[in-house]
Amino acid sequence: MQPDDFFVSQPGGWSHWPLNIKLLEELRFGPLADHADLEVAVALTRLLIDDFLAKGTRGGERMDDQGVVLAIKGHRSVVERLGLEPPQWPFRHFSGFYDYWIANDMKGSWQARRECIEHLLGPTRDALEQLQEIEYESRFKKGPAGHFKNLIFAADGPKPKIVLRDAVNNRVEIVENAEYCLIYDRPLPPGGLAWRQLVAWWIEDQNLGVDEATAADLLYRRLFASLASDPERLVMQTYCARYAEPDGFELPALVPQVYLHYDPYTRKSAKHSGALARERMDFLLLTPDRSRIVIEVDGIQHYAVQAAPREGEKFPRWFASTQLYSDMVAEDRRLRLDGYEVFRFGGKELEAAGARQMLTEFFSVLLDRHQRPIL
């Protein structure tokens, strides 16, 4: 949930959106049906901070006095339901804030007004942030401790053979074809794996004496070389074009051809060492909200088998395979139970006109959905 969600969207730009009075009043009588109290409290705290800072400095606040009264009442209710102490307001609305800063010698100082709002709402913001951290940790608290290899990916040659050498610390070893793989050997960052972090690892791993932009280009080319089909290349090209946008290096890295993903939040220690089943994912995103998103591009080999060629045949014959389909959906279930989100694209779908635009819109919605709320 975002601060904008407390307004009713209308044409003409956000400054013309009226406040959603009904939504704010509902907060006083219990949690919303489609948003958790913590999510609501974070967004409403941000709205109050933004609007009061605007009122106290350059202007441009979006609420009026009546709206502020309702927002403060709704905020108090949702904060108390979370077991937190609500802010103790010395005023009820913008007019009262103006009188307050006049009476307390803040007339000529924007900084003093900023500090006033920070004093009022800062402790609540910090407490909500702590609750968010507790919630995130509780969702992913199971998993082994110790240093381990997290990602084996982007093989541009024969598949790796992987064994588990240390079941306590999840130390893995590639015993064959390691030279064709990339191995991200740093602990998985708590907020997912951003493109900038992957580039920083690449610079160190390859001992590159180049700037970040040059290293990013080299890494992209290496990842792209691991792809085996035009539909996969289209997915990679469409997503990675976002890296060139402002703050694009902070986006989650799109990791291709992941043969093994050791996740400290979901992987349970095995009872023995030995050969591991290889889990190759076409693409993996580790997002700021700690979601693990798998993107699969399904060619015909995912659901059909090729018949033995007949003499004189120009084109191969394929037959639908219920076994291949069953294996695929069973693997999807297993991944979802392990906490992954799985999205599949048909190869034919990605060869159609408009496929790039479809992917662009898909990634926009996906990334927006998996942003971690920031106070």
Which domain range does residue 11 map to? 3-139
Residues 244 and 358 both lie in one domain: yes
- Amino acid identity of residue 250, one-letter, is E
Q: Does residue 363 register a pLDDT over 90?
A: yes
Residues 42 and 176 both lie in one domain: no
Residues 6+ positions from 100 with CB-CB distance below 8 Å: 90, 91, 106, 116
CA distance linking residue 40 with residue 127, whole number of Å: 14
Residues 160 and 264 both lie in one domain: yes
Name the pLDDT band for 226 (thresholds 50, 70, 90). very high
Query: How high is the mean pLDDT of the chain?
Result: 78
Question: Which residue did the predictor score with more confidence, 175 or 326?
Answer: 326
Among 139, 168, 200, the domain boundary falls at: 139
What is the percent of the chain with per-residue pLDDT over 90, rounded to a whole number? 20
- The count of domains in the chain is 2
Q: Does residue 217 register a pLDDT over 90?
A: yes
**Structure token pair of residue 314:** 């120009």
Region 269-286: what's the mean pLDDT?
A: 59
In a domain, 169, yes or no: yes
Do the Cβ atoms of 32 and 82 come closer than 8 Å? no
Residues 227 and 358 both lie in one domain: yes
What is the percent of the chain with per-residue pLDDT over 70, rounded to a whole number? 75
Residue 271: predicted pLDDT: 39
CA distance linking residue 258 with residue 358, whole number of Å: 24
CA distance linking residue 46 with residue 15, whole number of Å: 16
Region 135-146: what's the mean pLDDT?
A: 48
In a domain, 293, yes or no: yes
Residues 218 and 257 both lie in one domain: yes
Among 118, 139, 160, the domain boundary falls at: 139
pTM reported for the whole predicted model: 0.56
CA distance linking residue 245 with residue 26, whole number of Å: 39
Residue 109: predicted pLDDT: 84
pLDDT tens string 75-89: 988 888 888 888 888
- Amino acid identity of residue 116, one-letter, is C
Question: Which residue did the predictor score with more confidence, 2 or 207?
Answer: 207
Residues 250 and 309 both lie in one domain: yes
Name the pLDDT band for 152 (thresholds 50, 70, 90). confident
* Backbone dihedral angles phi then psi of residue 34, each to the nearest 5 degrees: -115, 10
Residue 138: predicted pLDDT: 57
Q: Does residue 190 register a pLDDT over 80?
A: no
Residue 143: predicted pLDDT: 36
Residues 291 and 338 both lie in one domain: yes
In a domain, 375, yes or no: no
Among 94, 111, 139, the domain boundary falls at: 139
Residues 8 and 106 both lie in one domain: yes
In a domain, 157, yes or no: yes
Candidate from 111-115, 182-186, 202-206 with smallest mean pLDDT: 182-186
In a domain, 61, yes or no: yes
Q: Does residue 14 register a pLDDT over 60?
A: no
Pairing of strands 151-153, 182-184: antiparallel
Residues 127 and 183 both lie in one domain: no
* Backbone dihedral angles phi then psi of residue 270, each to the nearest 5 degrees: -80, 165
pLDDT tens string 164-187: 554 444 556 676 777 778 888 777
Element (H, E) at 232: helix 230-240
